Amino acid sequence: MSKFTVTIPDEIEDLTPSIRRFIDAMIYKLNRNAHKGKWEDLNTHTAFERLIGEVDELHEAILKKDNSVETLLEAADVANFALILANIAVEREDETPNPESFKCKKVASVAKAS
Ligand SMILES: [Mg+2]
């Protein structure tokens, strides 16, 4: 098991419990989904589609009653796919996504709803 230290500036120190809880949720979900395989094989488009799918799951969780744990865990899924996309961008700078590939139906439906 590895550990790292997170330094939180004094100005936002009051957010420490929320940040800790959210990071714990992200790690919990990453560990729970570890059996699904590593993200290194995902391309940008697939990871983005999965992120949008997680946004939909988060939206469904928000609409339920007594949804605090489910909402936290679905928000962690969203963050984890954002993490994956950021990781792809940083580590595979040579992968230039096709802008057309991001014009998927789900993005369009989210944009209409808001
Ligand atoms: Mg999910």
11: left (phi over 0), alpha (psi -120 to 50) or beta: alpha
Residue 22: C-alpha distances to residues 28, 74, 105, 106 (Å): 10, 11, 29, 26
Ligand 1: centre distance to CA 26 (Å): 11
Ligand 1: centre distance to CA 9 (Å): 30
Stretches in the chain below the pLDDT threshold 70? 93-114
Ligand 1: centre distance to CA 25 (Å): 12
Domain segments of the chain: what residues? 38-113
Ligand 1: centre distance to CA 57 (Å): 6
H/E segment holding residue 73: helix 68-91
Query: What are 28's two structure tokens?
Result: 């919990």
In this prediction, residue 39 carries a pLDDT of: 82
Q: How many CB atoms lie within 10 A of CB 87?
A: 14
> CA 78 to CA 58: how far, in whole Å?
8
Looking at residue 23, its amino acid is I
In this prediction, residue 13 carries a pLDDT of: 97
> CA 74 to CA 25: how far, in whole Å?
9
Ligand 1: centre distance to CA 74 (Å): 5
Q: Which residues contact 96 (CB under 8 A, 6 or more apart)?
A: none
